[in-house]
Every structure is written in structure tokens, then in C-alpha cells.
Amino acid sequence: MSNSKLSKADIKKQTGRVITRFGSDLLVSRESEKPIRCTTKRKLDHAACGDYVLWQGNQHGNATVVKVLPRKNALTRQTYRGTPKTIAANIDQIIITSAWLPRPLWELVDRYLIAAQQLNAEAVIVINKSDLAEKQATDADWKALQDYRDIGYKVIAINAMNGEGIDELSELMQDKTNIFVGRSGVGKSSIAQHYLPNIKLLVNDISQSGEGQHTTTTATLYDLEMGGYLIDSPGVRDYVLDKLTTRKLSDGYIEFTNYVPYCRFNNCAHKHEPQCAVRTAVEKGKISPERYKRYLNALKNID
């Protein structure tokens, strides 16, 4: 993509979505046209992959992003200076990926679910390497998966090697902006490859066109053939909510929601407070004891 002269229509302010960024420049989508390279003003250097922006063409040089439109949500990480940095924005659905090898860490799955709740995003739980389930899965693992189903989460078994579960997940990803998250080795990239068969070609096109060198640490927005988008990068895939408060932790355990209003204290941590409706629900079997134990363990890290 070159910086050839733009038409008068191109010079008008238009909306687009950030595909990726490289340094101070952005690659922005255009309806029915090739993406355009844009430079951001200093006050807009927070623009990130997935942002909707207003841009204006320039007959001499790059187009310019003139406004970042309001976000639905944003995934942020703390920089080494301790300031938050947005790595992706406007997420509709988080696909939480585990596998039977390496073994699932249900505490980590819970933490991703809390992140999804904080972002007001949907969550899907995927278990890859389904062929290993018979040898690797324990009764406690099956119970954990059933607990997630019981509180309303969709759980899908997948085998990225033979395509099992790929179509089922595809239906859930359709017309949404999705990201995969999960620990290393669970097969996130292998699953994503089913939906992005030409991902390497696209990366090469961006790099070779003079639009800046694409690196594996840069979040990139990809169109999905079935409709919707997938935001992919190691930085996004390994995302975990950085800081938790007791309130955020409790809100992330959605099965607590119906009981919290009946706790005696407004700031109840559901730990040892008297007349705690959440604890009572656990004792009556209405809330999974295993999930509650993981909640208490997470609470220790906050305390």
C-alpha cells in the first residue's frame, strides 16, 4: 500500500477500525477498500488495536487519525513504569483456552472469567486436546467443567489437530470481536489457525508493503470469513487481569450475584462475616464448594 494521491472523498473525515499499530502509525480499515496507513497525533497515541477511529486523508503523506471514538472496553497492562497501556479494545467475547496437557488450572480459568466480567464481555471456555481426556482428566476436572456449565458458561471440547469442536466454536465467534486467552502450550495458535488460514500471508503483506514491520508482540485485528473478528497476539493471548479488589473478585463469581444482596453487610467478603448469604448458599449446595474454595484462595492474595 503506497502513499499515492488520495481522492477528495478520501480526504473527508471517515471512520475506520485500527487493525494494528507499529510505532506511532496505525493501519486502519476502510469499508470495501484496502486499509490505510495513518499517523496519530500525540494526544491520540493511546489508540490501540480494535479501536474505532475518525481519520482524515492527506494528499501529501499519511492520513491522520483525528479522534478515537468511545470504547466499549479495553484490555490494559501495566508498563514497567507502572502506567496502564491498552493492548486491545472493543472486545465482545473472550475465549478462555485450556487443554488436558498441560493440565488445566481452574484458578486461572476463574481469573479469566473475572476479567471477562470486568470487561462486560461474553466468555467461552474451550478445552483443547480432547483426545487426551481419557488419560488426563480426573473426576475433579469433570466436576469443574460441569460447575461452569451449571452457572451458564458455554464449555466446548476441541481437538485442534482433527478439527473436533471447531465448527461449534465458529458459530459462537460469528459476528463478534473475539480474543483467545490462556497459558502457553494449550494450543491457542493451532485453534486460531483454523479461522485464519492466511494469517502469515496477511502479516507479510503488511510488512512488505512498507507499512512498518509487524512483530509478534503487536495485537492485530483479523476479519473472520464467517463474520466478525479475531484479535491475536501473544500479549493479548496471555492477558490476565492485573489487579483485583474484593469487590471485583466477588463480582467475577457470577453465581454469587443472587445471594450478595441478602448478606448482612454491604461490604461482605463472604469469608467469615455473620449472616453471609453466599456462605449459606454454599452450605446448602446451591453454590459449588470447589468454586467457593478457589474464591477464598484468591481472596487471600488480596488480603
pLDDT for res 184: 86
pLDDT for res 100: 97
pLDDT higher than threshold 90 for residue 62:
no
What lies within 8 Å, CB to CB, of 30 at 6+ separation is 14, 16, 36
pLDDT for res 61: 75
CATH 2.40.50.140 domain residues, the chain: 8-68
Mean pLDDT, residues 261-285:
97
Higher pLDDT, 208 or 116: 116
Residues 169-197: tens digit of each pLDDT: 999 999 999 999 988 889 998 999 999 88
User: Is CATH 3.40.50.300 the right assignment for the domain spanning 89-237?
Assistant: yes
CATH 1.10.40.50 domain residues, the chain: 246-302
pLDDT for res 13: 83
Other C-beta atoms closer than 10 Å to the C-beta of 3 total 14
Residues 110-143: tens digit of each pLDDT: 999 999 999 999 999 999 999 999 999 999 999 9
Residue type, 111: R
Mean pLDDT, residues 92-108:
95
Compute the distance between CA of residue 97 and CA of residue 112 in angstroms, rounded to an integer.
10
pLDDT for res 275: 97
The class that CATH gives domain 8-68 is mainly beta
Residues 7-50: tens digit of each pLDDT: 555 556 899 999 998 888 999 998 878 899 999 888 888 899 99
pLDDT for res 8: 57
pLDDT for res 58: 80
pLDDT higher than threshold 70 for residue 2:
no
Return the sign of the alpha-carbon dihedral for residues 110, 115, 118, 119: negative
Terminal C-alpha separation, the chain: 53
CATH 3.40.50.300 domain residues, the chain: 89-237
CATH superfamily name and code, 246-302: Probable gtpase engc; domain 3 (1.10.40.50)
**217 confidence band (pLDDT: 50, 70, 90):** low
